[in-house]
Amino acid sequence: MAILLSALYENYKDQYQLRLVAGVSALSISVSWVYVLEDLNNIPFLRGNELLISTGLAIRNHSDWLWQLIKALEGKAFAGLILNVGSYIKNADLTPDILAYCDEHQIPLLTMPWKIHISDIMQDMCTLIFMSNYQKNQLTTAFQSLMFPLPVPQDTLSVLAKNGFMEKDIYTVLHIQNLISAAYMERLLTEENISYHLFVDKNRLVLVLHNCSAGQLQAFIRTLSENTLSSAHASLMIGVGETVSSVFNIRFSYESALTALKIAQKRRQPVVYFDRLGLERLLLSIPDKQILLHFYEDHLKNIEKYDQKNHTELLHTLETYLSSGKNISDTASALYTHRNTIHHRLRKISELLDTDLNDPEISLMLSLAFRIRPYILRQTEN
């Protein structure tokens, strides 16, 4: 988890006499580094989420320089602005209009007295950011080690526990693709008081939610989907994995989330919950896919081969017959075929399968085989 501006402010407000004068509601934003900004021409060099510090040196030659600075920063991905007040910038320069503008545009504006050395606050804040990033990298390594079918090292559990992720807690993994504003997502999670860890896996974001209730999860995804921009060429897509009750099962949540994301991509749906996939959820959870293929072939392959060889429609007839509750009239109506023709086809199907279609267990197995069939066809296409 990245360090937030609110944490830096609380940590150093007394030591460095920081005063929050505007943008109070926008402190839940992550800070990547601390950057001294005196020249407006350097704004394009910002990498994103820097906490800016300025003495306002240029205000000596341009009385409206502070206005120019704040307006030039609007829409840029920076974390906040600290003004070193006393020599160049005076308290009187922080007019009600400037403060109101920062509040309206959610720009965190802080001041510190001139006697504070910029090098001191930068060193302390950058050290804290560095340590936070180091901790984040340790956590990412720990979570990634859980994604492999190997014994979990004890030091992995120690790193997780040290950061509040306990062995028997609740975890839900999400795979997120085409999200532009990860910073907004992190801010949303913080505002909703949801514990999490976030890392990048190839071209996806992997979000591990910790002790997140079903209600919180749905509300978070709904808000994220409604208010977050996607890339110019693709829409936001989220795969939500199974919720598990142990760190040792996070791998299953990770893999089921990845499966849900792939389904979202194929169906062009913004969000797919793995645990809402019904029967497909069970099919996808079977590790050996050959089992599904053999089940399908045992029950339907003979009919499929007969249709291909004789240009008949026995497979479609059987599927329609089973889906109609084995009602001859409804099957005939759905297929625009005479009842006698349906009877003839069903007798041929029974002959090919060497079984009794009136047997409830046989009907169940055949229905299940038809549910497996689309999955088998997708695997063949891939």
- Token readout for 127 is 């050290």
CA-nearest of 4, 52, 57 to 26 is 4
Q: Which residue has the higher pLDDT, 373 or 36?
A: 36
Digit-coded pLDDT (tens) for 41-66: 999 999 888 999 999 998 888 888 99
Q: Which CATH architecture has domain 5-126?
A: 3-Layer(aba) Sandwich (3.40)
Sign of the dihedral through C-alpha 28, 30, 36, 42: negative
**Which of the pair, 1 or 74, is modelled with greater confidence?**
74
Domain span(s) for CATH 3.30.70.260 in the chain: 161-284
User: Mean pLDDT lowest for which of 101-110, 177-186, 213-222, 263-272?
Assistant: 177-186
- Closest Cα partner for 93 from 56, 145, 140? 56
For the CA atoms of 64, 32, 106, 197, what is the dihedral angle to 10 degrees?
Answer: 180
Q: What is the C-alpha to C-alpha distance for residues 128 and 34, in angstroms, rounded to an integer?
A: 11
Whether 184 shows a pLDDT value over 90: the answer reads no
Task: Kindly report, residue by residue over 262-320, the tens digit of the pLDDT.
Answer: 888 888 899 999 988 877 766 666 666 677 788 888 888 899 999 999 999 999 999 99
Q: Which residues on neighbouring strands pair with residue 197, listed in sequence order?
A: 208
- Asked if pLDDT for residue 369 goes beyond 90, the answer is no
Instruction: Note the pLDDT of residue 284.
Output: 66
Mean pLDDT value of segment 214-240: 85
DSSP E strand stretches across 228-346 = 237-244, 271-273
Give the burial string for 131-150 (b: 16+ CB within 10 Å, else e). Answer: ebeeebebbbebbebbbeee
Q: Which fold has domain 161-284?
A: Alpha-Beta Plaits (3.30.70)
Give the per-residue pLDDT at 293: 80
What pLDDT, on a 0 to 100 scale, did the predictor assign at position 148?
80
* pLDDT for 164: 93
CATH 1.10.10.2840 spans which residues of the chain? 289-381
Q: What per-residue confidence (pLDDT) applies to 190?
A: 85
For residues 304 and 293, what is the distance between their CA atoms, to the nearest angstrom? 14
Which amino acid type is present at position 287? P
pLDDT at 187 over 90: no
The CATH topology of domain 289-381 is Arc Repressor Mutant, subunit A (1.10.10)
**Residue type at 142?**
A
Using CA atoms, how far apart are residues 309 and 220, in angstroms rounded to an integer?
53
pTM over 0.75: no
Give CATH 3.40.1390.20 domain extents, the chain: 5-126
* 9-35 mean pLDDT: 92
Q: How far apart are CA 86 and CA 194, in angstroms?
A: 40
